[in-house]
Chain A
Amino acid sequence: MSFLYPLFLAGIAAIGLPILLHMIRQHTRHRVTFSSLMFLRATMPRFRNRSRIENLPLLILRCLILCLLALAFSRPFFAKPIEESEGSLGKRIVLLVDTSASMRRPGMWTQAINQASSALRDIRPSDRVCVMTFDRDVQTLLGFEQWEALDPAQRATAAIESLSDLSPGWNATNLGAALITAAEAIEDDEVNVQQQPVGSRQIVLVSDLQQGSDIDALRTYEWPQGLALTLKAVASPGATNAALQIVANRDPLAAPSEDERTSIRVTNSAEATFEQFQLHWASDAATSEPERSVDVYVPPGNSGIVRTPEGLDAGSARRLILTGDDQDFDNTLYLAPHLKQQINILYLGNDDPNDTKDTLFYVRRAFSATGATRFSVTAQRSDAPLTDADMDAAHVVIVTDAIGQDDVATLRRYLERGRMALLVMKSEQAGDALARLAGAGNLEYREAEVNRYAMLSRLEYSHPLLAPFSDPRFGDFTRVHFWKYRGVTLDNYPQARVLAWFDTNHPAWFEVPVGQGTLLVFTCGWQPADSDLALSSKFVPLLYSVLEYGGVLTGRQLQYFIGDPVPLSFGVPPSDGSEPRKRGTPNAATVVRKPDDSVVSLDATEQAFTQTDLPGIYRVESAGGERLFAINLAPQESRTDPMPIEDLENLGVVQSAFGGPAVANAAAVAQAKRVNDLVRMEEQQKLWRWVLVLVLAVLLVETWLAGWLTRVHPVETQDLASPPSPGEQ
């Protein structure tokens, strides 16, 4: 008989415990205080054997129960000879070839092909092979099924040919995901073919194993048992590699600075032999003007930040080139034109722009120019006639006073086209404009009676306008006091959505749909006569939120890397009068021209451009005009120093002998197979169940015997405590 978990047999030793306790109980722990021991002599403690003898059957039964329990836990089974079939089973191998940008270094790809070829030539006909390439994603060149379908003599050749047709791309390296995909491919194949994991399992990795490889995915992955990684490393002769990167810490709301030159971070590899590099614009290289280049000194393993060389207009697409290191693939940085977003705000009201007691003054202060945006606030008297041209140029309209009948019609047309206007009811007269704009003739409005001040009591933080205030740190509006407001009754106007209520249950802010557009209504002005709003910290964020809600102000990412999806509304405003889009609104048909002059047409439903597989300047051509954006190499791809293999081992990856046959792995697999066979054998026999049945039977007998002894021999049990005759000593 064999045991699956023989260590549990050590539990048999537990039967010593009741016996030991029985022995200990013979020693008296009874203490008696006596006046004098002068007439006494010490006697030797005696063990009374009578109780053990009389209860011996019980003791034996109880010990037997413990033994049987230990036996059941050790999972016994009858071993049968295991048929040896490993020799007939081949290995499962995934050949994983790195095609990331770092493999573009001189000679690397040739080395990689050679390494892969040598690995493929060693493969036996019984092996199952899958060839994959990886960079940011994993592509399968030749699956297990395709490999099986090929003529065994032609398999290696076909795989080498498919690899030879490839060349490294520009993507970053996601080594962790690639290894997981390869490991899962092997496990899936085992499941699909319905074979036991016999034969060895192996991943052959052909890579430069650069430090910039992303291996984080392995942290949450349990490396399969018996799967070994064989690394076939390729190396580049030059150790110095410097890289360029835009410093992306610009605050888009910061005040514009005079120096428009971009900051560039230059990093140097840790094992570099050079420390001196030069930066110059690509167009200047031809003219070779020395004053246009910048010398950069970066010690090995460090980075430095420099300004771009002077000379080229920030409004044009540029190419910055670094020279002085061994590796050229990451020495070019593309910079898209740095364009500011122009936002035109049309203010309809009769205010004096310099009057601090009126609303326009605060609008001008709130919308001052920033580094990323240029605001233009145009004030127009409400009695002046509005033209469609005025309206088309405006991204958003703010109305604070009553406007004429014609102006209402113009504004309504503006709204119906999908635009947004903000109506601030500074006075009761503005209610008329509201009723006409909203198309609600029976709208009730009047000056509300306020007892000292009113506060906002309920706010719809789920609404996009107030979403920035949903965090409890920012959502406290209780310090904003409203002295006067216009009470509007919206009971007869269910289309209106109230965003904030006063504590008197009057709506404070609400929105009314007008055609495709939206009319936002504040029933209280922000000038000091009406409220504290303009003086509170909520005012500027609220107005910016209005712009964002209207689709006027969009977030803008400063730089994009290879593989990043680029949103098609990536921040360039339609300064030429085209209509702004609300968030989520599909764009019109758009064409993107890639750096290699290939053209990608996007239909109206696509939100982002995803084919960013080349570094360079991309040109978006749409009906609204032409926009540019730059795609650069991922900065981690420039970290080309080799990664210590221990980093992978720390994450659980089992490595076979470096580049050699997986001997240790084979032994481990054989051991795993043997264990697996034993487990299956035990599961088929399930002897532990019978042992447990036996335990229950013995328990029943023991219970009956103990009860019988208690009933039948109570006197004898008592006798056990009585002293033995002196002759027993």
Chain B
Amino acid sequence: MIDPISLMKIKSMELRAKVIVEGFWKGIHRSPFHGFSVEFSEYRQYTPGDDPRHIDWRVYARSDRYFIKKFQDETNLRCYLLLDHSRSMGYGSGSYTKAQYAGTLAATLAYFLFTQGDAVGLATFDDRIRQYMPPRNRPSYLKRLMLGLEAQPEGGATDLGPPLQRIAQMLTKRGLIVLVSDLLTSIDRLETDLGYLCAGGHDVVLFQTLDPAELHFDFDTPAIFRDIESGRDMYIDPVVAQKNYQQRLEGHLAASRATCQSLGIDYHLFATDRPFDLALLDFLQDRMRRRKQIHRAGGSRLGRAI
């Protein structure tokens, strides 16, 4: 297992994900390389703006017309990585922020799924969608994905409702949605917000990432605490406030977990000092358990390898 602090010193997101995933595979001795196939779908007349790489030059040689060769991919899994980029994700008591940890986590999953041949898309949001990349499975697309994951949070407050509702509308095909967020938002609307995703028949996995300082609130000296999202100042004596904080945080986490459970969402709480391998292992174990449940229930298959 690689210490996250050491790992985060690797600048390249892709390399970081590669180190985690390949180290992980070596650990479980399974080959990640599986083939995948694409099936020809149709020809379509070229219109300016289409990628010229998709032009079928043989057709052009025969007909003197540009035609785009369309494929229908047969990727077994579409994975949507939803990454919370609200300003609270920019907090980090250590050398890296929650957003960086969440990004690495998402990159790890993306790299892993890419090696499986699954399509991975990305959406970052705060109170609205900041960037959206549809699921693709091409090696070059992974680089774009990694660049998207390296973006730093610049948004405002966390508000899951509008972006998740919008994403649910955009995702016409069912797939796996991995939501990485600190869920530092009102618990009252969490069920409604997450319900948008579940309503579309997606499998939803929620990684709640919190900084160890947020989990334990182990500050020493009284200070004026500033809310990173609202900018509000508050004088806090940690010694006095810690007990109450822990109680309220526990309540919030319990409520989040209960909500996820009721919606059938796999819920994982991650402190940002937790090794990524464990996160990946948790994820896989969860998926295995989910597959067994589906098999037992005779439900539809969503994934092939996972």
Contacts and interface: CB of A to CB of B under 8 A. Distances in A.
Nearest to A26: B222
B244 A35 contact: no
Contact of B222 (A28, A34, A35): A28
Interface of B: 88-89, 91, 98, 182, 184, 211, 213-214, 219-230, 232-241, 244-245, 248-249, 252
A39 B249 contact: yes
Contact of B91 (A34, A40, A723, A726): A34
A38 interface: yes
Interface string A242-284: 0000000000000000000000000000000000000000000
Contacts of A195: none
A41 B236 CA distance: 7
A33 interface: yes
B239 A726 contact: yes
16 contacts: A31-B225, A32-B225, A33-B91, A33-B226, A33-B228, A34-B225, A35-B88, A35-B184, A35-B228, A36-B214, A37-B225, A38-B184, A39-B244, A39-B249, A40-B225, A43-B240
Interface in A157-172: none
A462 to B, nearest CB: 80
A34 B226 contact: yes
| Tier of interface size on chain A | 20 to 34
A46 interface: yes
A82 interface: no
Contacts of B237: 43, 45-46, 723, 729
Given A35-B214, A43-B235, A723-B238, 15 more contacts: A28-B222, A30-B222, A32-B224, A32-B226, A33-B225, A34-B226, A35-B89, A35-B211, A39-B248, A40-B225, A40-B236, A40-B241, A40-B244, A42-B236, A721-B221
B184 A28 contact: no
A600 B220 CA distance: 107
A28 B223 contact: yes
Nearest to A48: B222
B228 A41 contact: no
A33 B213 CA distance: 12
Contacts of B213: 34
A37 B252 contact: no
B234 A35 contact: no
Contacts of A34: 91, 213-214, 225-228
Contacts, number: 94
Interface string A700-729: 000000000000000000000101101001
A40 B239 CA distance: 12
B181 to A, nearest CB: 12
A37 B232 contact: yes
Contact of A723 (B184, B230, B239): B239
Contacts of A31: 223-226, 233
A329 to B, nearest CB: 89
Given A40-B236, A40-B245, A43-B237, A35 B224 contact: no
A44 B222 CA distance: 10
B104 to A, nearest CB: 18
A723 B223 CA distance: 12
Contacts of A39: 244-245, 248-249, 252
B52 to A, nearest CB: 46
Contacts of B221: 28, 30, 721, 723
Contact of B227 (A37, A45, A724): A37
Given A30-B221, A721-B221, A42 B235 contact: yes
Nearest to B222: A28
Contacts of A721: 221
Contact of A45 (B226, B230, B235, B252): B235
